[in-house]
Amino acid sequence: MKIGIFTDVYFPQINGVVTSVMTLQEELIRRGHEVTVITVRLPGHKKSSDGIIRLKSVPFSKWKEFRLAMPFFVSAYSQIKALNLDIIHTHTEFSVGLLGRYMAHVLNIPLVHTYHTMYEDYTHYILDYKHAKKMVRRLIIRGSKSYVKPATAIIAPSEKTKLALQSYGIHNQIHVMPTGINLEQFHTHPCETPAVMAIRERYNIAEDTNILLSLGRVSEEKSINMIIEQMPTILSIVPNTVLLIVGDGPYRAKLESLVHKLKLEESVIFTGRVPFDTVSYYYSLCDVFISASKTETQGLTIIEAMASNKPVVVYDDDNVKGIIKHNYSGMLFTNHLGLSDGVISILTSKEKANFLSDNGTLAIKNLSTEKFGDTAEMIYEDLIQYMYMYKYHVI
């Protein structure tokens, strides 16, 4: 198959959508398909390369890491048309996604769309007032319905996302397809591994110190403040503990102020962004992985931590149903006390930590890149066959 993947974010940007897109791209290529990624042009990436078409772009408002393409150029249209694509798969509702939707219509080929982001959880970036948020939510629902209407099929990363889309009144064919991960990439590195030891030395963390890990975009909706606020409680029971916050984002300055207010400068470390190929070492370094986010559509970092054989303490949300069973494959919480109780129970019992880690690793064994590729391939083939039959009036 000749597959076009349309996305507004791509390497060297780092986030869950980029991970999902690149995983899909690599797995499809491994299976012998021709895959072209159509994305934005970033500073330092001025030209397209084999398998990648980069469109001129501009920064989107204050979020300089997010860019909007200026896609409707004759050259872009001609380049994409010359690919003779069999199917288009969009991963964004914005500029490049609109181009993908248009090209699918012009070329009369199937359009698949993955709905990665629950935008109603991000209304605080637009208007932070109760009634305004309701208005924005209505607009988001209306916009989502309008955008996906032409899609032959929709992919949801989790059952949570599928149910939300159905609640919007979206009646397209929806497939639940969790992003797969390279399970081998996230095996546990021994503590004496030079790269793991180097991280300890860089942040001056003693070998007998317990490490709590938060990894991902540092933004308000990730609720990292909830973890920081419970650090005094955790430290009162397990004093030799530090919280390592790996990542960067618009909420970092406020979190640093919170750390200062609570006098936790010696117990909370901000690393900023780290190269993706070093992420597995941070998982290996930690004793507990924590996610307090209530807005995940799947939660790839949670799955990566579990693949790294680490116990996880996670906000009890629909995105982890079927993966994390409380007190069995991880610890779930719904409030501040539940978070600190979960962490303390793990740090004070090696047996419990091992029990949760081993069960967690087993729980995500079906979320491999191979399974991800199998599902995508099956969806594409079915849609292409359906479109062929429809074109030639076989159905």
What pLDDT, in 10s, does the model give residues 254-301?
999 999 999 999 999 999 999 888 999 999 999 999 999 988 877 889
What pLDDT shows up at residue 322?
A: 81
Same domain, 229 and 106: no
Q: In what order do the strands lie in the sheet with 153-156?
A: 52-55, 34-40, 2-6, 87-90, 111-114, 153-156, 174-176
Question: Are 323 and 363 a contacting pair, CB within 8 Å?
Answer: yes
Q: Say which residue, 120 or 149, is predicted with more confidence.
A: 149
- What is the identity of the amino acid at 373? G
What pLDDT shows up at residue 15?
A: 78
Same domain, 198 and 127: no
Same domain, 330 and 230: yes
What pLDDT shows up at residue 107?
A: 95
Name the pLDDT band for 69 (thresholds 50, 70, 90): confident
What pLDDT shows up at residue 3?
A: 98
Percent of the chain with pLDDT over 70: 89
What pLDDT shows up at residue 137?
A: 65
C-alpha pair distances (Å), 363 with each of 26, 91, 159, 325: 24, 27, 16, 9
Same domain, 215 and 231: yes
Same domain, 158 and 216: no
Closest CA to 34 of 101, 82, 69: 82
What pLDDT shows up at residue 292?
A: 97
What pLDDT shows up at residue 109?
A: 96
Return the DSSP state at 12: T
Name the pLDDT band for 356 (thresholds 50, 70, 90): very high
Name the pLDDT band for 143 (thresholds 50, 70, 90): confident
Same domain, 175 and 188: no
Same domain, 342 and 203: yes
Cα–Cα distance measured from residue 306 to residue 382, given in angstroms and rounded to the nearest whole number = 33
Same domain, 163 and 192: no
Same domain, 357 and 373: no
Q: 129 pLDDT exceeds 60?
A: no
Q: What is the mean pLDDT of residues 24-37?
A: 97
Cα–Cα distance measured from residue 315 to residue 296, given in angstroms and rounded to the nearest whole number = 10
Cα–Cα distance measured from residue 2 to residue 86, given in angstroms and rounded to the nearest whole number = 5
Percent of the chain with pLDDT over 90: 62
Question: Are 322 and 296 a contacting pair, CB within 8 Å?
Answer: no
Q: What is the mean pLDDT of residues 144-148?
A: 81
Give the CATH number, domain containing residue 82: 3.40.50.2000
Mean pLDDT of the chain: 89
Q: What is the mean pLDDT of residues 298-326?
A: 92
Highest-confidence range of 59-73, 185-199, 222-236, by mean pLDDT?
A: 222-236
Cα–Cα distance measured from residue 304 to residue 108, given in angstroms and rounded to the nearest whole number = 38
Q: What is the mean pLDDT of residues 104-115?
A: 95
Same domain, 104 and 210: no
Counted domains in the chain: 2
Q: Say which residue, 149 or 255, is predicted with more confidence.
A: 255
Return the DSSP state at 344: H
What pLDDT shows up at residue 68?
A: 74
Q: 72 pLDDT exceeds 80?
A: no
Q: Which residues contact 69 (CB under 8 A, 6 or more apart)?
A: 8, 39, 40, 41, 55, 56, 57, 95, 96, 99
**Cα dihedral 329, 228, 299, 334 sign:** positive
Q: What's phi and psi for 93, nearest 5 deg?
A: -95, 5
Cα–Cα distance measured from residue 78 to residue 357, given in angstroms and rounded to the nearest whole number = 51
What pLDDT shows up at residue 370?
A: 92
Q: Say which residue, 285 or 127, is predicted with more confidence.
A: 285
CA angle, residues 298, 302, 306, in degrees to nearest 5: 125
Q: What is the mean pLDDT of residues 345-362?
A: 97
Count Cα neighbours of 187 within 13 Å in the Cβ-side half-sphere: 5
What pLDDT shows up at residue 233?
A: 98
Least confident of 156-165, 218-227, 333-342: 156-165
Q: 64 pLDDT exceeds 60?
A: no
Instruction: Judge if pTM exceeds 0.75.
Output: yes
Q: What is the mean pLDDT of residues 18-25?
A: 93
Q: 394 pLDDT exceeds 60?
A: no
Q: Say which residue, 321 or 350, is predicted with more confidence.
A: 350
Closest CA to 89 of 364, 303, 372, 395: 372
Least confident of 76-90, 125-139, 197-211, 231-245: 125-139
Distance of CA 239 to the CA centre of its chain: 32
Same domain, 263 and 306: yes
- Distance between terminal CA atoms of the chain? 22
136 token code pair? 């924005």
Cα–Cα distance measured from residue 284 to residue 261, given in angstroms and rounded to the nearest whole number = 30
Question: Are 259 and 252 a contacting pair, CB within 8 Å?
Answer: no
Q: 126 pLDDT exceeds 60?
A: no
Strands 153-156 and 174-176: parallel
Least confident of 41-55, 260-274, 308-322: 41-55
Same domain, 310 and 279: yes
Residue 115's domain spans which residues?
A: 2-180+368-391
Highest-confidence range of 192-196, 209-213, 364-368, 382-386, by mean pLDDT?
A: 209-213
